[in-house]
């Protein structure tokens, strides 16, 4: 019987865990507090991608 290789599952964390983390600066945490939902879990790559997308957006006057 052949074993199927499964991709490793990325750990997921709550909004509060990200806001309490030392991984992000206070400015990044301020942005994340507005971007992330309280009742959802996020992986590090999801949060990093959302943060980069927000920071790379063009400012509309």
> How deeply is 47 buried, as exposed, middle or buried, from its count of CB atoms within 10 A (0-12, 13-18, 19+)?
buried
**Summary count for the chain: helices (H), strands (E):** 3, 2
pLDDT in tens, 3-55: 677 778 889 999 999 999 999 999 999 999 999 999 999 999 999 999 999 99
Confidence of residue 61 (pLDDT cuts 50, 70, 90): confident
User: How is 21-36 classified by DSSP, letter by letter?
Assistant: -SSS-HHHHHHHHHHS
Residue appearing with tokens 């309280």: 38
pTM value is 0.79
């Amino acid at each position: 019987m052949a074993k199927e290789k499964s991709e490793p599952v990325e750990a997921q964390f709550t909004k509060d865990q990200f806001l309490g983390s030392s991984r992000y600066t206070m400015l990044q945490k301020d942005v994340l507090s507005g971007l992330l939902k309280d009742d959802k879990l996020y992986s590090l790559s999801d949060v990093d991608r959302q943060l980069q997308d927000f920071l790379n957006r063009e400012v509309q006057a």
